[in-house]
């Protein structure tokens, strides 16, 4: 695809650069190429079959074009048959080979006084090639830290030096560093491998085979300790990755975020590691799993503090730190308006560079059309510049103290319901379409990390998505009530302080505004309908308790924001939600009854005749008019209906998965 896109532009450049004046360096190369060029240019239009030698730029670009053509054809043949009759030497295999002749043309034009021409289409093209390379998009590799531990554990057992998994963190670091500083290979082909271990090692071997510009970072999810990073560095070396990928730890859970600054400080104090990173480090912070682990309130505050600490550590060691925000589309997973989200980051954490994930379900909304794409990029750029030029205020010490106190209470309330309530998981599975969502192949990852297990093993996307579908959004607001109540009951002056924080501190304001937006999209009445239809009667009181909590949280939130009504400060959004509401509600009712029929095949449904006159009068039976999914494990039409309602509700509510 990359070769194809470049190919058409090279032809345009050949058309433009018809000059004969050029530098000696370029003339020698052009003459050489002209002598050795083959005369069988069958695949070109008549005009380009022969390039005369007195048009040196065209001769050089003609050779680039030929190589691009061969690169494209070789890729095509390799994809369809696994082999190709085009030799690798006739193609571009790395970006340097591609850039070199283009830079030669640029230098030559500048030396002959044609700089305005060099700075036109040719410079644009050079920038494009430098940015997108031959791979068009660099892929990040992502793997869980536990899987790397399994591999290293297998290696140490194979070497008969013990079980890596059981060593202390100090022992692990010491052994990894001694191996990284040494030269000997650790294992051969005879390493006993399970399927999981082979999978991890195969990934490293593919990284070693492919050109270096195909990949970006190697992200370690669920990272907790320095040894997690060093293990990946060692595996890259063992699998002969010539240009190792930068290793990016992803800190997700609350405890991991707290421990992250110390882990980074330890890494930076290792000479071998400092030499390896060359003054630059990237750290990813996870919004989804931290929210699932402790609730939105505590997660947001912990993420804020972790960033401040990480920046301090990086400054201390003179390392440029890039924060990589793993935020999702939903508020429960760190989503929200881009501009506000960036401006609410702690001072000095952006420094002109920032990485953000854009989740699958919001890509189209942000980048689906050219004008949307530009607007999204403008928002990112403007907010990043504004954050650097006019840093947001740092929180006052008394605000911090209050936030710390409230976060403890919020986490306690959240966990007491989600993790400690014995029948919570049962209620969640009954009251939401989580199980059915997991069965449908519409997510980018498996819905669970481990097939068995409760909330802990469930991925953050289905956890949030399921609550969003029932319009209850529990993971976003749960914990806020206890935090606000605690602060206000302790001292009524705290209410004034919370209002001051809302008005003066961008981070706090964004946190509250996003939850307010979620309440505007929520509807406990809809959640009650799901309960009545799908939940066993002895769990109804639990649902009612949660809905009471929802209402109390909403009124406390309005009190702190100083609003009489939800979305008082955003009438435009308020109106849009009001317009969408009747459509979404219809879809919710449809979904709830569809779930009832899926789960209870004996549930009796009275079929009504079609209302549409055309259908009533047509001779065709309904079966002919509707093409249903024949592979579904549910009764005809139920899976299609369920997917349509899910997509409809998600589109209506936006920022969902």
Cβ-Cβ contacts under 8 Å for 41 (sequence gap 6 or more): 48, 49, 50, 66
414, 479 in Cβ contact below 8 A?
Answer: yes
* Cα separation, 452 vs 468, whole angstroms: 23
pLDDT of residue 636: 73
Structure-token pair, residue 59:
């001769």
pLDDT of residue 448: 56
38-97 per-position pLDDT tens digit: 655 555 555 556 778 889 999 999 999 989 999 999 999 999 998 999 999 999 988 999
Fold agreement between 1-132 and 210-389: no
- pLDDT grade, residue 363 (50/70/90)? confident
* Cα separation, 232 vs 180, whole angstroms: 11
Residue 447 has pLDDT above 70, yes or no: no
Distance from the Cα of residue 404 to its chain's centroid:
28
* Cα separation, 337 vs 379, whole angstroms: 10
pLDDT of residue 159: 92
**Closest-CA residue to 184 (of 209, 207, 147, 159):** 159
Distance from the Cα of residue 377 to its chain's centroid:
16
- pLDDT grade, residue 620 (50/70/90)? low
pLDDT exceeding 70 applies to what percent of the chain?
88
Where is mean pLDDT largest: 16-20, 430-434, 548-552? Answer: 548-552
* Cα separation, 421 vs 617, whole angstroms: 55
* Cα separation, 348 vs 327, whole angstroms: 19
Structure-token pair, residue 214:
């195909």
106, 123 in Cβ contact below 8 A?
Answer: yes
* Cα separation, 19 vs 13, whole angstroms: 12
* Cα separation, 544 vs 529, whole angstroms: 12
Residue 608 has pLDDT above 70, yes or no: no
Could you tell me the pTM of the whole model?
0.84
Query: Which CATH architecture group holds 210-389?
Result: Alpha-Beta Barrel (3.20)
For the CA atoms of 479, 482, 488, 491, the dihedral, rounded to the nearest 10 degrees, stands at: -120
Q: What is the H or E stretch that residue 243 is in?
A: none
Question: How confident is the prediction for the chain on average, in pLDDT?
Answer: 88
pLDDT of residue 526: 96
Question: Which phi and psi angles does 221 have, rounded to 5°?
Answer: -75, 155
- pLDDT grade, residue 263 (50/70/90)? very high
Question: Would you call 221 helix, strand, or coil by DSSP?
Answer: strand
Cβ-Cβ contacts under 8 Å for 491 (sequence gap 6 or more): none
300, 331 in Cβ contact below 8 A?
Answer: no
pLDDT of residue 350: 87
pLDDT of residue 657: 47
329-362 per-position pLDDT tens digit: 555 555 566 788 888 889 888 888 889 888 766 7
Question: Which phi and psi angles does 18 have, rounded to 5°?
Answer: -100, 5
519, 477 in Cβ contact below 8 A?
Answer: yes
Number of residues that this document lists for the chain: 657
Question: Which phi and psi angles does 117 have, rounded to 5°?
Answer: -75, -40
* Cα separation, 322 vs 386, whole angstroms: 17
pLDDT of residue 441: 57
For 268-272, 461-465, 522-526, 561-565, which range has the lowest pLDDT when averaged over its residues?
461-465
* Cα separation, 373 vs 381, whole angstroms: 12
Structure-token pair, residue 600:
């209870």
Per-residue CA distances from 317 to 233, 310, 530 (Å): 20, 11, 54
Q: Which residues of 251-275 are buried (b: 16+ CB within 10 A; e: fewer)?
A: bbbbebbebbbebbbbbbebeebbe
pLDDT of residue 460: 67
The matching CATH number, chosen from 1.20.1440.90, 2.60.120.590, 3.30.70.60, 3.40.225.10, for 1-132 is 1.20.1440.90
Distance from the Cα of residue 424 to its chain's centroid:
29
Residue carrying the six token digits 């569809």:
594
- For residue 280, what are the β-bridge partners? 320
Report the interhelical angle of 424-431 vs 524-534 (nearest 10°): 100
pLDDT of residue 418: 92
34, 59 in Cβ contact below 8 A?
Answer: yes
Per-residue CA distances from 116 to 103, 107, 110, 248, 392 (Å): 15, 12, 8, 42, 42
478, 299 in Cβ contact below 8 A?
Answer: no
Residue 385 has pLDDT above 50, yes or no: yes
194-249 per-position pLDDT tens digit: 999 999 999 999 999 988 889 999 999 999 999 999 999 999 999 999 999 999 99
For 356-365, 397-406, 555-564, 584-593, which range has the lowest pLDDT when averaged over its residues?
356-365
Beta strand segments in 207-303, E: 215-221, 246-251, 280-286
For the annotated catalytic residues, the residue numbers are 292
Beta strand segments in 269-319, E: 280-286
* Cα separation, 470 vs 547, whole angstroms: 12
For 63-77, 360-374, 557-571, which range has the lowest pLDDT when averaged over its residues?
360-374
* Cα separation, 51 vs 60, whole angstroms: 10
Residue 446 has pLDDT above 70, yes or no: no
Q: What is the H or E stretch that residue 446 is in?
A: none
- For residue 382, what are the β-bridge partners? none
535 or 620, which is more confident? 535
Cβ-Cβ contacts under 8 Å for 234 (sequence gap 6 or more): 152, 176, 179, 180, 186
Domain regions of the chain by residue span? 1-132, 210-389, 397-604+622-653
Mean pLDDT computed over 295-301: 92
Structure-token pair, residue 278:
């060359």
pLDDT of residue 611: 56
Residue 366 has pLDDT above 50, yes or no: yes
Q: Rounded to 5 degrees, what angle do the CA atoms 337, 339, 342 make?
A: 105
* Cα separation, 441 vs 579, whole angstroms: 31
């Amino acid at each position: 695809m990359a070769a194809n896109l470049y190919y058409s532009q090279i032809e345009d450049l050949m058309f433009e650069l018809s000059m004969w004046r050029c530098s000696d360096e370029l003339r020698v190369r052009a003459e050489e190429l002209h002598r050795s060029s083959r005369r069988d240019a069958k695949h070109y239009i008549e005009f380009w079959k022969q390039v005369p030698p007195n048009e040196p730029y065209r001769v050089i670009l003609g050779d680039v074009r030929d190589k691009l053509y061969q690169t494209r054809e070789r890729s095509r043949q390799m994809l369809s048959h696994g082999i190709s009759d085009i030799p690798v030497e006739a193609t571009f295999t790395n970006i340097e080979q591609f850039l070199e002749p283009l830079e030669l043309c640029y230098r030559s034009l500048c030396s002959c006084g044609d700089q305005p021409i060099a700075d036109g289409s040719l410079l644009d093209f050079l920038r494009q090639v430098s940015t997108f390379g031959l791979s068009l998009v660099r892929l990040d590799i992502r793997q869980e830290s536990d899987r790397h531990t399994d591999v290293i554990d297998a290696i140490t057992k194979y070497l008969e030096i013990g079980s890596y998994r059981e060593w202390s963190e100090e022992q692990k670091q010491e052994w990894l560093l001694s191996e990284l500083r040494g030269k000997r290979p650790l294992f051969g082909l005879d390493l006993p491998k399970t399927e999981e271990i082979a999978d991890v090692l195969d990934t490293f071997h593919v990284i070693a085979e492919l050109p270096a510009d195909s990949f970006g970072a190697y992200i370690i999810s669920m990272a907790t300790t320095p040894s997690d990073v060093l293990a990946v560095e060692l595996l890259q070396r063992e699998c002969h990755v010539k240009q190792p990928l930068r290793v990016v730890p992803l800190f997700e859970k609350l405890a991991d975020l707290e421990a992250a600054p110390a882990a980074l400080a330890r890494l930076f104090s290792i000479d071998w590691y400092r030499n390896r990173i060359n003054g630059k480090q990237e750290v990813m912070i996870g919004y989804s799993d931290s929210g699932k682990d402790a609730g939105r309130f505590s997660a947001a505050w912990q993420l804020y503090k972790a960033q401040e600490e990480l920046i301090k550590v990086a400054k201390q060691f003179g390392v440029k730190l890039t924060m990589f925000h793993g935020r999702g589309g939903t508020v429960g997973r760190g989503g929200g308006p881009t501009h506000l989200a960036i401006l609410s980051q702690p001072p000095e954490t952006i420094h002109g560079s920032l990485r953000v994930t854009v989740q699958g379900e919001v890509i189209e909304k942000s980048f689906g059309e050219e004008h949307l794409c530009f607007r999204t990029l403008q928002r990112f750029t403007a907010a990043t510049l504004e954050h650097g030029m006019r840093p947001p205020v740092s929180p006052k010490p008394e605000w911090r103290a209050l936030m710390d106190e409230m976060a403890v209470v919020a986490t306690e309330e959240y966990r007491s319901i989600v993790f400690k309530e014995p029948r919570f998981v049962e209620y969640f599975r009954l009251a939401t379409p989580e199980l059915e969502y997991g069965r449908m192949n519409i997510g980018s990852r498996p819905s669970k990390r481990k097939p068995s297990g409760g909330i802990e093993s469930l991925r953050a996307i289905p956890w949030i998505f399921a609550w969003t579908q029932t319009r209850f959004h529990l993971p976003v607001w749960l914990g806020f009530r206890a935090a606000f109540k605690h602060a206000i009951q302790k001292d009524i002056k705290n209410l004034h302080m919370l209002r001051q924080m809302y008005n003066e501190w961008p981070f706090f304001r964004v946190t509250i505004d996003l939850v307010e937006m979620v309440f505007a999209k929520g509807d406990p009445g809809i959640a009650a309908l799901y309960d009545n239809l799908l939940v066993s009667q002895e769990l109804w009181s639990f649902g009612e308790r949660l809905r009471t909590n929802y209402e109390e949280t909403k009124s406390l939130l309005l009190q702190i924001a100083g609003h009489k009504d939800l979305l008082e400060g955003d009438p435009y959004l308020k109106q849009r939600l009001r317009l969408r509401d009747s459509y979404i509600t219809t879809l919710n009712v449809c979904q709830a009854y569809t779930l009832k029929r899926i789960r209870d095949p004996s549930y009796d449904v009275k079929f009504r005749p079609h209302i549409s006159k055309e259908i009533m009068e047509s001779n065709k039976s309904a079966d002919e008019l509707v093409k249903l999914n024949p592979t579904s494990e549910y009764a005809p039409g139920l899976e299609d209906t369920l997917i349509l309602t899910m997509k409809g509700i998600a589109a209506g509510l936006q920022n969902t998965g």
